Amino acid sequence: MKPAPIPANEQERLAVLHELEILDTETDEILDEITAFARELFGVDAALITLVDEKRQWFKAKIGFGEAETPRDVSFCGHVVASGETTVIENAALDQRFTDNPYVTADGGVRFYAGAPLTVQNEFHLGTLCLIDSAPRTFSNDQQRLLEMLAKWITSEITARHERKNWQAERDILARGPVATVVWQVEPEVHLIYVAENSQRILGYPSEHLLDPDVRYESIVHPDDRDELLERMHKLIDGKEDYLEMDYRVLTPAGDLRWVHHFARADIDASGVLLRVRGYLLDDTKRKALELELREANQSFDLALTAGELSTWDWNLETNRIKVSHTWIELLGFERHFDQDADWRELVHPDDQAVAREKLKEHLKGLKERFETNFRLRRADGEYIWLHSVGRVIERDQDGRAVRVVGIHRDISTEVRNERQRRQQNKVLELVSTVQHEFLLVKNFSEVCDIALPELMSLTESETGFIGELRASARESNMLLVQGLRNNTDKESQADRQRLVEQGLEIELQGSAIERVLREGKPEICYGEVCNEQAQFTPAIMPSLHNAFLLPIYFRGEVVGCMVLGNRPNGYEQSLLTLLEPILNTLGTLMHMRRVDEERQSAVEELRRMATIDELTGVVNRRVFLEVCSQRFDEQQRYDVPVSLAVIDLDFFKRINDTYGHAAGDEVLRQFTDIAESKLREPDLLGRMGGEEFAILFPYTSEADAFQATERIRQAIAEHPLSLDGEDINLTISAGVAQLRAGDTDVDRWIARADAALYEAKDSGRNRSVVAK
């Protein structure tokens, strides 16, 4: 166990503490009442006002604790004095600073502690208002705020009493000379004729200034107080009042304000004639400041009660009559006499009655020190509020049966609602993490929606849900690709719906509400029956919607999809949008990522196609053709299977280009490949070697069969003129055919023999096929 550290300003702090002269003094009724109120307010075992000096903590007020003081080095309050901040220890047995503290290790020792500092001059922490309990417990932010407000009130009370004590001593001294005496003449006009010499100390003005005939006394009085002083003086002069006594402010030559306590009487002769007015002026600035400070402290106390929203109840179990404070009546919206006309237990929510009844029984039987629970209570308008209620038996009959229970309660509806929202937000954030992780694993957005949609429907209490994605190529249309579809009222058909989604179901969305979602990106709430003019699904995949929440799914400001939630028991509210925004943004990002991935794959396929296919004719290019030839070469070397190839050249192709142009030449090349491919078998491969030169690979084919296949192509070309802009063009080809032989040491040697046969065909007159030698 380590004692609390010593504050840096310890010597100055102790000097202030001793100067207040509060240590080892008699009990104080107000401080005792505050301590008792704190104990009752927070429902703890003990409440204490502590003052920490050099070696001890001494209790100025205490309730529920037997000792008058304890050593400083084992005190919890020493830590508050050291830090100057409110300290809350929910379970001291688990706090390393206090686990071996003798007040913790003792039977029934301290478990819960909360202490707020008593601070003066904004820097000296003299002690605490602290709470102690033998059981661990939690302490809310509102409870901490109330504890700190009570501590400030105690501090104000201590300092104010010290100041009042000093002020009284000062007044006793002033009674021997510090009261300024002034005398007014009445006729012919009211004016000062005597001002005591000590007036400058009281009023800030020398006597000669106030006696100046051109100076009226009221000119030094604050304008806001001047009219009242003149009115009271006239009443005194007119005999309507026997004396004048009031406080007002004086403006000094330095511009400061001073409070003056003014007492005056009229001097009247034996015949009743008014002779003069005699006044006595006392500088009352300090007392007035203290009065304002005390008023502020009292207002702070009232504020503490109001801020705590505490209401009281007093239940007579014999008559079953309950008296409640006015604040409860206002809280529930009933008339003041409702507690006499209704059984309050009927207002408790049905789901909370059993728990509240059990808690009450435990306390009435003495099993629990107090009755404490949370429950919902029905207001006059039918809505429910959440209350935290604490009560104790204060009266029992001669047989020991409880007959009267009193307590307090507080409206915690906002806290419950905030806690519910916090749990929902946590669930949404967990869902965001889950769908992101799942998407990275499977890269399947539909599977992600299968995870997200049921969770979102559960969070929003929706019976049906839909997630759709706008196609990247159709962003201006209303066609959406269905990625998620669910209807809890028809679970038997869920498998059928899932199959449709897996098959790539697309639907068309129409209607004014859905248009605003898809075109303007504005969420829409349909509070009643959703008609076709608002939202229509084609084909009709959604059930009838009694209400709906239509939500756009964004990526960087662009609508990429839509989510529809429908048939919530109590309808939808705009606040759900804030709750769902993180998952909507995540779904939008994943939609975009999937779309980018698809575009990347498409681009890769296109690059692969462009790298392997001749762009003009659509057949394989020279590089790919030679790679396949090399594979067939290796195959023939291993398994001795026949393989042949033909090298083909279009006859007089230059003449076609020169006559009809290159565009026509390109069309001739395309038509040639179409005819050639129509005559080939499935395993045969046609490739463009460059310009008008082509080659055909015949796997598992002998030279003779390859020659016949080449001849079929040549004859088809020769017998069918090619059409170009309505004009027939006669075309012929020449070809050289070569089977791979043992003497071909590589692919180049093989192709060279086919090339030699091609040139022989050309030299022999073209339009023919020649077998290589």
| pLDDT value, residue 291 | 74
Asked if residue 764 and residue 683 are part of one domain, the reply reads yes
pLDDT digits (tens, 9 = 90+) for 11-29: 999 999 998 989 999 999 9
What percent of the chain has a predicted confidence (pLDDT) above 70? 92
Question: What is the reported pLDDT for 580?
Answer: 87
CA distance 445 to 443: 6
Strand order in the sheet with 46-52: 69-71, 56-63, 46-52, 124-133, 112-120, 87-89
Residue 48 and residue 154: Cα distance in Å, rounded?
A: 11
Is the pLDDT at 438 greater than 70? The verdict is yes
Decide if 171 is inside a domain: no
Q: Give residue 434's pLDDT.
A: 82
**Is 612 inside a domain boundary?**
no
Q: Is residue 649 part of a domain?
A: yes
Over residues 379-408, mean pLDDT: 87
Does 453 share its domain with 559?
Answer: yes
- What are the pLDDT digits (tens) for 322-337? 777 666 667 777 776 6
Q: What is the mean pLDDT of residues 657-678?
A: 92
Instruction: Examine the domain organization and report whether 15 and 84 are in the same domain.
Output: yes
Q: 352 with 423, same domain?
A: no
124-133/112-120 β-pairing: antiparallel
Average pLDDT over residues 741-748: 92
pLDDT tens, position by position, 478-527: 888 888 899 988 877 888 888 888 888 888 888 999 889 888 888 999 99
Q: What percent of the chain has pLDDT over 90?
A: 48
- E runs forming strands in 383-531: 384-396, 402-411, 464-470, 479-487, 506-510, 524-526
Is residue 163 situated within a structural domain? no
Helix axes 445-460, 494-502, angle to 10 degrees: 140
Range with the poorest average pLDDT among 229-238, 338-347, 757-766: 338-347
Task: Tell me the two tokens of residue 130.
Answer: 């602290």
The parent domain of residue 194 ranges over 177-290
**157 CB-side CA count, 13 A:** 21
User: Contact at 8 Å (CB) between 259 and 288?
Assistant: yes
In CATH, what number is assigned to the domain containing residue 653?
3.30.70.270
pLDDT (0 to 100) of residue 174: 45
Whether the CB-CB separation of 188 and 328 falls below 8 Å is answered with no
pLDDT at 178: 66
Q: How does pLDDT run across 299-313, given as a tens digit for each residue?
A: 554 454 455 567 777
Mean pLDDT of all residues belonging to the chain: 87
Residues 654 and 760 in one domain: yes
Q: How many CB atoms lie within 10 A of CB 5?
A: 12
E strands in 434-557: 464-470, 479-487, 506-510, 524-526, 536-538, 548-555
> Could you tell me if residue 233 is inside a domain?
yes
**Cα–Cα distance between 104 and 70 in angstroms, integer?**
14
**How confident is residue 602, by pLDDT bands cut at 50, 70 and 90?**
low
Average pLDDT estimate for 206-226: 91
pLDDT of residue 384: 87
Q: pLDDT, tens digit, for every residue of 46-64? A: 999 999 999 999 999 999 9
State the CATH number of the domain containing residue 429.
3.30.450.40
pLDDT at residue 305, rounded to an integer? 44
pLDDT mean over 733-747: 94
Count of Cβ atoms closer than 10 Å to residue 508 Cβ: 12
Q: What is the pLDDT of residue 169?
A: 54
| Whether residue 750 sits in one domain with residue 668 | yes
**Residue 318: its pLDDT value, please?**
86
Look at residue 647 and tell me whether its pLDDT is greater than 90: yes
**Of 410, 438, 470, which marks where a domain is finished?**
410
Spatial contact of 621 and 687, defined as CB atoms under 8 Å apart: yes
Query: What's the chain's length in residues?
Result: 773
- At residue 175, the pLDDT reads 43
Residues 404, 459: one domain? no
- CATH number (domain holding residue 402): 3.30.450.20
Q: Are residues 678 and 760 in the same domain?
A: yes
pLDDT at 280 over 80: yes
Among the candidates 600, 630, 650, a domain finishes at: 600
Q: Are residues 403 and 434 in the same domain?
A: no
- Residue 309 is predicted with a pLDDT of 63
Residues 526 and 461 in one domain: yes
Is a pLDDT exceeding 90 seen at residue 223?
Answer: yes
pLDDT at position 477 is 67
Taking the C-alpha atoms of residue 696 and residue 698, their distance in angstroms, rounded to an integer, is 6
- State yes or no: pLDDT of 264 exceeds 80: yes
Give the model confidence (pLDDT) of 538-566 as tens digits.
Answer: 888 888 999 999 999 988 878 888 999 99
Last residue of a domain, one of 140, 167, 200: 140
Task: Choose the weakest-confidence range: 283-287, 476-480, 536-540.
Answer: 476-480
Task: Give the pLDDT score at 583.
Answer: 84
The answer to whether 584 and 553 are in contact (CB under 8 A) is yes
Residue 216 has pLDDT above 70, yes or no: yes
pLDDT of residue 302: 45
Rounded mean pLDDT, 190-204: 86
Give the pLDDT of residue 167: 55
Report whether pLDDT(590) > 50.
yes
What are the residue numbers of the active site?
Answer: 692
Instruction: Say if 564 falls within a structural domain.
Output: yes
Are 404 and 432 found together in one domain?
A: no
Instruction: Check pLDDT > 90 for residue 119.
Output: yes
Residue 397 within any structural domain of the chain: yes
- pLDDT of 171 over the 50 cut: no
Return the biggest CA–CA distance within the chain.
Answer: 167
Answer yes or no: do 678 and 576 share one domain.
Answer: no
Residue 250 in any domain: the answer is yes
